[in-house]
Amino acid sequence: EQTEKVRLEVEKLSGSLKTMDTNDISGKDVSDSASKLLDFSLPKKSEDDFDAHTSEKFVFEDLRLNGIGWMFVNRISIVGACIGCGNTTNLDLESGKENKQWCAGKKCSKLLNIVMDPVLIHESNLRKGFLIITDSVAIQDITRISSLVSCFECGSHASVSDIVRGRITVKNCFECHNAMRIFFQDVLLQGLSTQVESRQQKVFKRKQRRDPRIVPGKPLPNEGTCKHYRKSHRWLRFPCCGRAFPCDVCHELEAACPETKWATRQICGYCAKEQPFSKDKPCLKCGKTIGTTKSTSHWEGGKGQRNQEKMSSKDRKKYSNSSKKTASNKHNRVGNAKKKLQAKAKKQES
């Protein structure tokens, strides 16, 4: 019976494209507590519009809803790069609202215009997410997600903020105290149009010489390495800001976080698969080693090799204080020692 009520409510919401109020949901088919709702704008994109869209569209990987009738994304934070100059910027987007701002790059006067349109998500439609319509920004990463959800038990609505990848987010209903749980592994980019992608690749090749986007199945810029850690092929996602960086040093230099927290997730530099953080385990998808390998030199940031048998022959510490170290015989071949040897050889000949 409760499932049927949720189904009827989803059908009613899917057919409405205007702002919801208490007059729109009166009736016996919808739950009684539905009159106690938040004022919000319904998603303007249907499932068919989502499938037919050719620009950037994002889907949830392994999305699970427990105690939730339906949900849709109403606010996100993204990291994007300007198509004109490649300058990276942070943008906050709300559902259905057009975001306009001027690019902050040097000698660039491009207007960054971007709109986020979500899709209504329920148990029969878990593989959808939201659309991002833009011709001036290349979406690099989704850092924060907030959504509006409906309680499965009483039908009342609540806002859930800061939904984190790979971790269960719990929100208790204000009416019936039902626990509403949301879980997903990652947000994946799909369906980029050929025209937009070719234009982005051309600009990035000329300006940045790399594509800054995190696209599943494609390698990260420089295969996840940076100037601080050239053997670490991964990016780390820090929970303090939600952004991904090649290392902790890059995070401290670029992010203005008041408190730095340890990274809990990582992104493979070879295939861009996001997964829980691991110190030395290979990637879950491609199987390649993405962390620092076994050290072969003495230093390497304090984590280097100390076994002289396994050290590189070019390491100056390999033969330090060792019996295998050769001694110089130069003092017997030059100067007075050489003259004495020559005189001794003459006496033996005579």
| Percentage of the chain lying above the pLDDT 90 cut | 7
| Percentage of the chain lying above the pLDDT 70 cut | 75
pLDDT at 182: 92
pLDDT per residue as tens digits for the range 279-317: 878 898 998 888 866 555 555 555 566 677 777 777 777
Any idea which residue has 């780390």 for tokens? 236
pLDDT at 264: 87
Residues 181 and 173 sit within 8 Å (Cβ to Cβ):
no
φ, ψ dihedrals at 175, nearest 5°: -95, -55
In sequence order, what E strands does the chain have?
Answer: 56-61, 64-66, 68-82, 88-94, 98-102, 111-118, 121-122, 129-134, 137-151, 157-160, 169-172, 179-183, 186-190, 234-237, 244-245, 265-268, 274-276
**Is the pLDDT confidence value at 330 over 50?**
yes
Chain mean pLDDT for the chain: 77
Residue among 152, 149, 116, 120 nearest 15 (CA): 120
Residue among 111, 109, 93 nearest 101 (CA): 111
DSSP, residue by residue, 265-329: EEEETTT--EEE--SSPPPTTT----S-----SS-TTTT----TTTS-TT-TTTTTT-TTPPPP-
Residues 53 and 29 sit within 8 Å (Cβ to Cβ):
no
Q: State the average pLDDT over residues 88-94.
A: 87
Residue among 231, 260, 261 nearest 246 (CA): 231
- Token pair listed for 69: 């009738």
pLDDT per residue as tens digits for the range 191-217: 654 444 555 555 555 544 445 677 778
At 227, which amino acid appears? Answer: K
Residue among 192, 234, 208, 195 nearest 57 (CA): 192
pLDDT at 17: 38
pLDDT at 191: 63
What Å distances lie between residue 331 and 109, 319, 336, 347, CA to CA? 71, 22, 9, 22
Q: State the average pLDDT over residues 155-169.
A: 87
**Is the pLDDT confidence value at 117 over 70?**
yes
Window from 32-36, 87-91, 210-214, 284-288 with minimum mean pLDDT = 32-36
Any idea which residue has 């025209």 for tokens? 195
Residue 181 binned pLDDT confidence (cut-offs 50, 70, 90) = very high
Report how far residue 28's alpha carbon sits from residue 69's, in angstroms, rounded to the nearest whole number: 17
At 41, which amino acid appears? Answer: S
pLDDT at 189: 80
pTM: 0.66
